[in-house]
Amino acid sequence: MALNLILPFALSIAVMLSSGPAVADAESAAVELQEAVLALDAGNFSEVVAQHPFIVVEFYAPWCGHCKELAPEYEKAASGLRNNDPPVVLAKVDAYDERNKELKDKFGVYSYPTIKIIKNEGSDVRAYGGPRDADGIVEYLKKQVGPASLELRSAEAAVHSITDKGVILVGVFPEFVGREYKNFMAVAEKMRADYDFFHTSDASILPRGDQMVKGPIVRLFKPFDELFADSEDFGEDALEKFIEVSGFPMVVTYDADPTNHKFLERYYSTPSAKAMLFVSFSDDRIESFKSQIHEAARQFSANNISFLIGDVADADRVFQYFGLRESDVPLLFVIASTGKYLNPTTDPDQIIPWLKQYIYGNLTPYVKSEPIPKVNDHPVKVVVADNIDDIVFNSGKNVLLEFYAPWCGHCRKFAPILEEIAISLQDDQDIVIAKMDGTANDIPTDFAVDGYPTIYFYSSTGKLLSYDGARTAEDITSFINKNRGPKAGAAVGVDDKTQTDAVEEEVTPSSSEPVKDEL
C-alpha cells in the first residue's frame, strides 16, 4: 500500500529544528513567563491585538520542553523591546487550554511553540521565522518593525549587510520613485519576515554581479548554487515568484544552521517526492557526496523530486520519525506517494544510478513496521504495518482502529477508554478493537492521520469511516453498533443497507488533535 509519511513530518519540522540549550533541571524547566510578556486568552485576545499595531504572540503548551527552553529568552527579549521605537509587544497564549481552542485553530497552531507576528489589528498575520535566543529575537523583530528595505550607500555598508547567512534582495534604481520602486517596496513589506531587503542607486558597491548596471533591477544574493540572480520583471506577482524560486536551494541542507530552517519547512511541505541523503559532514568524502547530490538534482529536476543533504549529527529525530538507523549512514532514501525507498551505506558514485532505478520504477518500497506480536490476545489488539491487512482489511470483521503516539498526552488519556470498549465488546466475535503506533509504523494512505489520536472504523462490509465524536466509551460503542456490518449469518435487508449508506454520508473526516504534544 502507498504510505502517508510527509504531512505529519511537515507539521512537526519546526519543533524538530528548535534551537536553544537543553533544560538544565526540573526546577528551571518550570520557569514561567513573567510580566514583560502579556498573557492573552480568548477573553482578551481581540481587544489587546486591536490596541497594538505590531504584536508578537507565542502559542505554547505548559508541558512542552521547547516552550520551557524558550520562556526565559522570550521574557528577556520582551523586556528589551518594551522601550523600542516603535514599541514591540510580546505576548503568549496557552494553546493547550481548551478555552483557547478557537484561537489555536484560527492561527493554525500545529506544534509548540508557534510564534506569529500580528499587524494592523489582526488583518496581517505572518509566521515568525527568526532565532529562539533573546538577542536573536530582538534583532529579528527590530528589523520587522522598521523600514521594509534599507538604503545601501557605501561598499562598506554593502559588505556588512550582504552576508552568507541567508537570501538577501537588493533593488537597484536610478531614482527611488516610479512603479518599479513602488512594487519592490510592496513586495519587501510582504516578504520581509523571510528575507532581508535593501535598495541602492549605485550597483558598483555590490559584491557580485554586473557593477555597471543602472537598473531598475533586483539582484538576489544567496549562499548557495550560483550565488546571485537578477530579475528585471517588477510585476508584484512575478517578483514574488522570482524570489521564491531563485531564493530556494537546488539541494536543501539539514543541519543546525537556523538560516536553513525556513528552507526545510518549505521542502517538507512541498507536494513532491523527497530524495534525502544523510551522511556525516566530517566524512572525508563529503565533497564528493555534495557534488553527486547536486548533479542528481540537476539531472532529475523535471521528475518532481526535491533534494536534501543532511548531517547525521543533527538528524536523530528525523531518523526516529522515519524508522531509520544511523548504522545505515551514508543513507540515501526517497519518500514518495508510492512508498519509501532505501539505499543504505551508499557511496557517492551510487547516488545517480540508484535514483535512476527509482525513476524507472525498478525499486521495491520499504515499509517501516514493528514486529508482528507473537501473542496478541489482549482486549485491544496490536496492529503493525506488517499485519494491518490481516487484522483490518482482510479479516471480514468490524474493526475500530486507533492511531496513537507514545508521547501523546491525549492518547494516554484515551487508552483506558479504549480498553473499556474492548472489554465490553470482547464476546462479539465480529468486532475487533485495535491500536497502532503511528510513529513506529508506516501508515497506509487509506488513513488520513494528521494528528494523534486518530480513530477509524472499518466495517465488515468494507466501509472506512473516520470517527470524530466524543471520546467516551458510550459514544464510541454506539458509533460501532450503528455502523457495523451485519452479524455473521444475518441477512442484510434493504433498510439496513440504506441506513448504513446514510450514516457513511453523514460522517466526514476531521482534523484530530495536533500531531504532537512534543517531539
Active site residues: 64, 67, 408, 411
Residue 7 CA, chain-centre distance (Å), reads 7
Please provide the distance, in angstroms rounded to a whole number, between the alpha carbons at the two ends of the chain. 27
Q: What share of the chain is helix, strand, coil (3-state, %, to 5)?
A: 40, 20, 40
Question: Between β-strands 89-94 and 54-60, what pairing exists: parallel, antiparallel or unpaired?
Answer: parallel
Q: Which of 433, 466, 434 is nearest to 449 (CA)?
A: 466
CA distance 137 to 89: 12
Cell digits of residue 32: 514561567
Cell digits of residue 78: 520582551
User: What single-letter amino acid sits at 175?
Assistant: E
Cα–Cα distances in angstroms (integers) from residue 372 to residues 411, 429, 504, in the given order? 22, 21, 31
Secondary structure (3-state) at 437: strand
Asked if 251 and 306 count as a contact pair (C-beta separation under 8 A), the reply is no
Cα–Cα distances in angstroms (integers) from residue 185 to residues 40, 164, 168, 385, in the given order? 33, 23, 14, 52
Which residue intervals of 146-178 are DSSP H helices? Answer: 155-161
Cell digits of residue 327: 548504522
Cell digits of residue 128: 515568525
Cell digits of residue 89: 509587544
Residue 232 CA, chain-centre distance (Å), reads 33
